[in-house]
Structure 1
Amino acid sequence: MLDDASPLAPPLALSAVALTLPSAAGPVNILRGVDLTVNAGERVAVVGPSGSGKSSLIAVGAGLEEPTAGTARLFGQDLATLSEDGRARLRRGRAALVFQSFHLLPNMTAEENVATPLEIAGAKDALAKARDWLGRVGLSGRLTHYPHQLSGGEQQRVALARALAARPALLFADEPTGNLDGATAASVADLMFNLVAEVGAALVMVTHDPALATRADRIVRMADGRVAS
């Protein structure tokens, strides 16, 4: 049930969120009482040293990982009240993710990678929309290419098109330029910020790049599983 989801609620609200995971050496406290609210259209950069909990914050906020304690709300819906399938339905068309490693489906063309989520969401003319969005990211000439035939920058452009084609209200981006060289990273960052603004989405972006972080409306610094500032 998604009855508690509200278009008026902040896209993301974490309250006293903790995450403890098992390890061979015993339980590891990944997140320790994180509070974070992201408002509609707001662009938030999450920074901090490796192991500070940045990617885990995104995983919990997107409903990919269940918190050990606290409350994670996506569009006002308490994620703890939903099954894995329910969380996927809540994200569908409303929250999207872009990862450092692209995560394109290797046996699908660029066009198919973008069209498939649209088809799953019930969009009409999914292939036409996929072509349009690949054109927006400068890949009109690469529609039928498979991921292994694309450069890293091109793969991330396909991933951006796939994430934003449904015009979601929230985009999670985990080190979106981390696997790219400097010039390509800057180009992809420009594209991401321009497209996020165009669709009116909020952005939660994990990054190690200080220059990229300063482009956000707000910087959240994490240390030892907590929000430091």
Structure 2
Amino acid sequence: MTDQIADPLVLEQVSLTLPSAAGPVEILRGLDVRVGAGERVALVGPSGSGKSSLIAVAAGLERPTGGRVLLFGQDLAGLDEDRRARLRRGRVSLVFQAFHLLPNMTAEENVAAPLEIARAPDATATARVWLDRVGLAGRTRHYPHQLSGGEQQRVALARALASRPSLLFADEPTGNLDAANAAHVAELMFDLVAETGAALVLVTHDEALAARADRAVRLRDGRLAADKARVSA
């Protein structure tokens, strides 16, 4: 299978069991999920249903107990940590509820840093372009503590998309924001994902946000409860 024909993400009968003081806990139970190129998929379900764990497994940050994870056609089970990191680099980005900006770096430096690690040309210039795209052209030299929560998440979004990844994982990206900032970040995220052509896997409790995706995958107790495409008006 080659990158040209492979779906960005395929999960086949994926399970995840983690140890606890009370004994093993089944987090994911035989999940089958497929995400096509450019497709926007929302993961919804109650707290503890396994949504964030699914992202961790799908991105190769956590090894599943059973089943297969194919990222761009590559079976992650056959890759060590370094090779998984190389597979993700420049092709997979993540945005979290917590902004995870480096506090000693400016907004511009936060966006440029992963580009420099990937040895992308003109990293600083690209960072400025993407900060302008998220409405922060005047805040490039500001440090995270000088930015509002909404501004910090927009920096995180610019950082995630500046490499033009093929797949973006977003784990409750509006969860720490007030209603106005949440709406603004959501609008930017969907617009920029559509523009770059990236596939999106979005964890959210917001049904209105989930309704903007092409499909909603519902989890309950680590199992697939529903997988439904959006009905166009």
Q: Look up the equivalent residue of 2:211 and give its one-letter code.
A: T
Work out the percentage of aligned pairs sharing the same amino acid: 76
Matching of residue 54 in structure 1 with residue 82 in structure 2? no
Matching of residue 69 in structure 1 with residue 66 in structure 2? yes
The 2-side partners of 1:106 and 1:74 are apart by 31
Q: Specify which of 14, 22, 27 is matched with residue 17 of structure 1.
A: 14
Q: Give how far 1:85 is off.
A: 1.2
SS at match of 2:158: helix
Corresponding residue number in structure 2 for 1:158: 155
Matching of residue 79 in structure 1 with residue 93 in structure 2? no
Q: Look up the equivalent residue of 2:128 and give its one-letter code.
A: R
Unaligned runs of 5+ in 1: none
Q: Give how far 1:179 is off.
A: 0.4
Matching of residue 139 in structure 1 with residue 136 in structure 2? yes
Corresponding residue number in structure 2 for 1:111: 108
The 1-side partners of 2:47 and 2:171 are apart by 13
SS at match of 1:228: strand
Show the 5 A alignment for 1:152-191: 152-191=149-188
Q: Give how far 1:5 is off.
A: 5.8
Q: Look up the equivalent residue of 1:64 and give its one-letter code.
A: L
Q: Give how far 1:7 is off.
A: 2.9
Sort the Cα spacing of 1:225 and 1:165 in 2 relative to 1 into closer, same or farther, 3 A: same
Cα RMSD between the aligned structures?
A: 0.8
SS at match of 1:116: helix
Show the 5 A alignment for 1:193-208: 193-208=190-205
SS at match of 1:179: coil
Q: Specify which of 217, 220, 228 is matched with residue 220 of structure 1.
A: 217
Unaligned runs of 5+ in 2: 227-233
Q: TM-score, normalised by structure 2?
A: 0.96
Query: Which region of structure 1 is more displaced relative to structure 2, 142-151 or 203-212?
Result: 142-151
Q: Give how far 1:106 is off.
A: 1.1
The 2-side partners of 1:5 and 1:130 are apart by 31
The 2-side partners of 1:227 and 1:122 are apart by 39
SS at match of 1:204: strand
Q: Do the aligned partners of 1:5 and 1:74 also contact (CA within 8 Å) in 2?
A: no
